[in-house]
């Protein structure tokens, strides 16, 4: 597998051919008054919640970063935490700000996200990933631990949420969310990568079978409920959505996840359209950037760099009929 240290799927292929994701991230947390959080890693460096202090660097092309953009939108934190948007393509060095004038982030003043990592950790040895939160004044990366970035935006920044913002981590649903999130991450979010970067036929088929078993489970689960957990939108839905939004455009062909398309799952397809049409979510999806990222950056899979014209994305705006479920 080619050197892909900068990419959002960072990982390696094990001797048996199975793709293994590197899940070692910068573990720092941003919490209210830098307090010890109730959930998740606690014995880590803590930073205080402070409006204007931090910049979220998150590329629309990346599913893990797309989550953070959506959560920031839904919670109304646009004026509290600024957003820097790298372009969809990059080389092995880093995500770059090629969508901005002169290819430089207008707030951080850097061309490469790697600069923020190196400023805090000279010679940073792991992948330069998005989403990342950077302290504006110092230009140093704070964290790139994507599951806890969005969790803490929901739970630690509450006093700055817009009025009426959804509670994406309700206490009464947390145990069920953890259970659902675990399978969605293992077999769907990461499952598509396990197919796409498999090093052997056997490893690919194992990943493929697990992926579609999980999608069948989700299809059944969503037959009688509008959302994944409870009767309201939660982060569990956002975590699944960013994979579904990329499924037909990228994963079906590029990653060989081709038993069927998303549009051929009646419940999952209607559910995905329901979320896409929710204010704060659909506008974060840029299919051109998504396709450019996967088909151009993954040279080991698509050495020609040709970006497919399809699929037709107009169906995302068709009525979904999910209102009847609650």
Catalytic residue among 25, 54, 117, 193: 193
- Which are the contacts of 230, defined by CB distance < 8 A and separation ≥ 6? 170, 172, 173, 176
Specify whether 193 is catalytic.
yes
Measure the CA–CA gap between 164 and 66, rounded to whole angstroms.
22
Count helices and strands in the chain by DSSP H and E runs: 10, 8
**DSSP state at residue 151:** H
**Tally of residues, the chain:** 326
Collapsed DSSP state (helix, strand, coil) of residue 284: helix
Specify whether 227 is catalytic.
no
Collapsed DSSP state (helix, strand, coil) of residue 238: helix
Catalytic residue among 62, 117, 208, 276: 62
Exposure on the CB side of residue 237, measured as CA atoms within 13 A: 28
Indicate the burial class of 66 (C-beta count within 10 angstroms; 0-12, 13-18, 19 or more).
buried
Q: Which residues of 87-119 are buried (b: 16+ CB within 10 A; e: fewer)?
A: bbbbeeebbbbeebeeeebeebebbbbbbbbbb
Q: Rounded to the nearest 5°, which phi and psi values hold at 112? A: -120, 135
Residue with tokens 């989550």: 67
**133, 152 Cβ separation under 8 angstroms:** no
**307, 295 Cβ separation under 8 angstroms:** yes
Tell me whether strands 132-135 and 54-57 are parallel, antiparallel or unpaired. Answer: antiparallel
Measure the CA–CA gap between 246 and 282, rounded to whole angstroms.
12
Measure the CA–CA gap between 73 and 279, rounded to whole angstroms.
9
Identify the CA nearest to 63 among candidates 220, 250, 312, 305: 250
Which residue numbers are catalytic?
A: 62, 193
């Amino acid at each position: 597998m080619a050197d892909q240290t900068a990419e959002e799927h960072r990982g390696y292929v094990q001797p048996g051919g199975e793709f293994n994701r590197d899940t070692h991230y910068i573990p720092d947390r941003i919490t209210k008054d830098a307090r010890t959080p109730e959930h998740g890693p606690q014995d880590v460096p803590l930073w205080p919640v402070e409006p204007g202090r931090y910049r979220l660097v998150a590329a629309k092309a990346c599913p893990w970063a797309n989550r953070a953009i959506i959560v920031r939108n839904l919670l109304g934190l646009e004026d509290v935490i600024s957003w820097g948007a790298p372009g969809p393509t990059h080389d092995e060095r880093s995500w770059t700000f090629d969508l901005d004038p002169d290819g430089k982030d207008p707030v951080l003043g850097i061309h490469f996200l790697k600069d923020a990592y190196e400023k805090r950790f000279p010679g940073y040895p792991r992948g330069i990933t998005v989403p990342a939160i950077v302290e504006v004044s110092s230009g140093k990366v704070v964290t790139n631990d994507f599951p806890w970035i969005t969790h803490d935006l929901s739970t630690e920044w509450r006093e700055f949420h817009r009025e009426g913002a959804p509670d994406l981590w309700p206490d009464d649903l947390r145990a069920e969310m953890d259970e659902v999130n675990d399978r969605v991450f293992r077999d769907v979010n990461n499952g598509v990568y396990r197919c796409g970067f498999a090093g052997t036929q056997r490893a690919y088929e194992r990943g493929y079978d697990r992926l579609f078993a999980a999608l069948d489970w989700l299809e059944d689960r969503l037959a009688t409920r509008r959302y994944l957990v409870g009767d309201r939108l939660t982060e569990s839905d956002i975590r699944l959505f960013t994979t579904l939004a990329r499924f037909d455009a990228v994963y079906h062909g590029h990653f060989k996840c081709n038993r069927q398309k998303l549009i051929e799952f009646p419940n999952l397809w209607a559910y995905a359209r329901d979320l896409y049409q929710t204010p704060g979510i659909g506008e974060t999806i840029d299919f051109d950037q998504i396709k450019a990222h996967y088909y151009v950056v993954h040279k080991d899979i698509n050495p020609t760099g040709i970006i497919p014209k399809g699929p037709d994305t107009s169906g995302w705006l068709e009525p979904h009929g999910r209102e009847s479920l609650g």
